[in-house]
Amino acid sequence: KTPFFSGLTAMEKKLAEYKCNTNEAIQLKLVRFPEDLEDDNTTFNPEYSHQVFGDDEVAFGYKGLKILLYYIAGNLSTLFRVEYTSKVNEKFDCVEADDVESKIREIIPPGFCTNTDDFVSLLEKEVNFKPFGVLLHTYSIHNEEAGEDITYQIYKADMTCPGFREYHERLQTFLMWFIETASFIDVDDERWNYFLVFEKYNKDGATLFATVGYMTVYNYYVYPDKTRPRVSQMLILPPFQGEGHGAQMLETVHRYYMSSPTVLDITAEDPSENYVKLRDFVLVKLCQDLLCFSPVKLMQGFSQEMVTEAQQKLKINKQHTRRVYEILRLRATNMGDAEQSRSYRLDVKRRLIGPYKKKQRELAKMRRCLRPEEMTNQLNQIDLSLQREQLEESFQQLVSDYRRVLERLAQA
């Protein structure tokens, strides 16, 4: 038997050489100038590729696999090519290579280029590309590398804008690579709003626009005559991450809806940890000047006045207003003062303990049916000490998140 097994491992070893990590194989670019095509510094890779290539994020059958997905910076016209140094041979190895190309074709819209010359000739027409929709906000950020201020603009678009539907199809392909549970939306539903960020840049004396990121918001109906916009997807493309565009966009979107009397408040669908941090920062920035959040009122505790004012003026819901209150109260509290610090800790823990208490009641109900009385008591004691530990842990984590928000606010 032994020779057979050693043969198998040799074969396995050989086949293992034909496995490629798809997060490394996929090479993305946002191209402004022909020389970007050869410049490795403009390349970036996906964070995720499991939705296209399975949980292992592996493509089988190739050595040196490169999946090139290059986009023109503004209108996102696409170059798609698959390259490799060698491929398994069916006749020889009795195995078939994955059909990488058809997997990618499933998520990118048709009409892409397959050779560089066509792509470069499209690049020359990019000067005609203009952002879609209505301009909502212009801001600039100082760029150390360029040694100058760069201007950005935020637009609100919809499917009636000529060319926007096709552009959005190209744009949404990025979701697959950067949002873990991404899905494409039904663009025929008119309740979607689209917000887009563009960078203005110069090329041969002309002003051009590059896509930076976008957000989709769905307008839910609330009886009898209101809507509740819910942020669905938000993506700042990797070359622009960490520059503050997410905060600019979220604040602009809030301001856009604030002016509408029919909007109740703004929520988010299944927000990521990063989105929650971003939202904390933006909402605290918007709320800090409201009278109901003055230091004196913060020290008196969370109030209905805060809920009402934040909702009416800034379209912020009760749950988010509570977080804003806790963050601003932390700023107003001298944590070195035993009394102030104790009062803050109790206030936050009272909110945190809510879900625990509910769980406790449910457990007690179950146990009454199942166990003798004395046992229930003992178990409750164990639960309580564990609960205190978890509560303290949650509190400490929260305070450190809140402090980061306040640090960012101090620099803003």
Contact 85/44 with Cβ under 8 angstroms? Answer: no
Nearest to 123 by CA among 15, 23, 184, 35: 35
- Predicted confidence band at 92 (pLDDT cuts at 50, 70, 90)? low
Question: In the chain, how long is the greatest CA-to-CA distance?
Answer: 84
Q: Vertex 205, ends 204 and 210: CA angle to 5°? A: 75
The two tokens of residue 200 are 């203005």
Residue labelled with tokens 């050693």:
6
Q: What is the pLDDT of residues 102-111, one digit of tens each?
A: 999 999 999 9
Q: Write phi, then psi, for 29 (nearest 5 degrees).
A: -145, 150
- Predicted confidence band at 379 (pLDDT cuts at 50, 70, 90)? low
- Report the phi/psi class of residue 244: left, alpha or beta, with left for phi > 0 and alpha for psi in -120 to 50: left
Mean of pLDDT values over 284-307: 96
pLDDT value for 15: 77
pLDDT value for 42: 94
Does residue 382 carry a pLDDT above 70?
no
CATH number of 293-374+382-411: 1.10.10.390
Mean of pLDDT values over 12-37: 91
Q: Is 407 tagged catalytic?
A: no
- Predicted confidence band at 6 (pLDDT cuts at 50, 70, 90)? low
Q: What is the pLDDT of residues 260-283, one digit of tens each?
A: 999 999 999 889 999 999 999 999
- Predicted confidence band at 145 (pLDDT cuts at 50, 70, 90)? confident
- Predicted confidence band at 376 (pLDDT cuts at 50, 70, 90)? low
CATH number of 130-270: 3.40.630.30
Q: By three-state DSSP, how is residue 216 classified?
A: strand
pLDDT value for 13: 76
Mean of pLDDT values over 144-156: 92
Rg (CA), the chain: 27
Q: What is the pLDDT of residues 335-346, one digit of tens each?
A: 999 999 999 999
Mean of pLDDT values over 112-139: 96
Neighbours of 329 (CB within 10 A): 23
* 70 CB-contact burial (10 Å; exposed 0-12 / middle 13-18 / buried 19+): buried
With a pLDDT cut of 90, the percent of the chain lying above it is 79
pLDDT value for 358: 75
Residues 6 or more apart whose Cβ sits within 8 Å of residue 268 = 230, 231, 275, 279
The two tokens of residue 168 are 């959005």
**244 vs 356 pLDDT, higher one:** 244
pLDDT value for 1: 46
Domain boundaries, the chain: 14-126, 130-270, 293-374+382-411
List the single range of 38-42, 64-68, 110-114, 269-273 with lowest mean pLDDT: 269-273
Nearest to 403 by CA among 316, 321, 344: 344
CA within 13 Å, CB half, 323: 20
Mean of pLDDT values over 298-327: 96
0.85 surpassed by pTM: yes
Catalytic residue among 90, 190, 269, 389: 269
Mean pLDDT (the chain, rounded)? 91
CATH number of 14-126: 3.90.360.10
Neighbours of 293 (CB within 10 A): 23
pLDDT value for 381: 60
**Cα 402 from Cα 335, distance rounded (Å):** 13
Q: What is the pLDDT of residues 188-232, one digit of tens each?
A: 999 999 999 999 999 999 999 999 999 999 999 999 999 999 999
Q: Do domains 14-126 and 130-270 have the same CATH topology?
A: no
**362 vs 327 pLDDT, higher one:** 327
